[in-house]
């Protein structure tokens, strides 16, 4: 069975607190499990970088909801296409809290991205480096 994947980046409108972002990530994890969608979300207080993967209709529906969400602006699809296997296993929504960034964020992201393609790895490793630098 082939799966669909969308990677996007967007800029936050106004201020989203780390607590609000964590709440959205937790709710997304519940909804994504229901819809058989997996992925990874990074938020650095300014930008969201996310990959969604799963059944095409579910991934497209979630992306459309994000695109129309007033908390996002400048939503840009970095990649969209068919994948044969999930790059994020059973992670319904992996997330790192920018208020308490992990010292090992790069390592955590690298571990999640072990099965990901080179382009996906490059986007997230680069964002994790920027995220970690901004937290210092």
Rounded mean pLDDT for each run of 10 residues along the chain, 136 residues in total: 92 86 85 91 84 96 96 94 87 62 60 72 64 48
pLDDT of residue 16: 83
Short-list 46, 43, 25, CA closest to 94:
25
Residue with tokens 């996906």: 120
β-partners of residue 108 are none
pLDDT of residue 96: 58
Provide the 3-class DSSP secondary structure of residue 42: strand
- Which domain, by its residues, includes 8? 3-135
63 vs 68: CA distance, rounded Å: 9
DSSP class of residue 44?
A: -
**87 and 5 in contact (C-beta within 8 Å)?**
yes
Quote the distance between the C-alpha of residue 64 and its chain's center: 15
77 vs 10: CA distance, rounded Å: 9
Please report, for the domain that includes residue 122, its CATH number. Answer: 3.30.70.100
92 vs 126: CA distance, rounded Å: 22
pLDDT of residue 46: 85
Indicate the number of domains in the chain.
1
């Amino acid at each position: 069975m082939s799966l669909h994947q969308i990677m996007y980046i967007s800029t936050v409108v106004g201020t989203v607190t780390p607590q609000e972002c964590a709440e959205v990530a937790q709710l997304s994890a519940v909804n994504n499990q229901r819809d058989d969608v997996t992925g990874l979300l990074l938020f650095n207080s300014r930008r969201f970088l996310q990959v969604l993967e799963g059944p095409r209709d579910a991934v497209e529906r979630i992306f459309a909801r994000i695109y129309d969400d007033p908390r996002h602006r400048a939503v840009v699809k970095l990649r969209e296409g068919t994948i044969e296997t999930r790059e994020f296993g059973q992670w319904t929504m992996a997330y790192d809290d920018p208020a308490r960034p992990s010292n090992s964020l790069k390592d955590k992201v690298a571990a999640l991205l072990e099965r990901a393609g080179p382009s996906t790895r490059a986007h997230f490793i680069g964002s994790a480096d920027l995220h970690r630098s901004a937290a210092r």
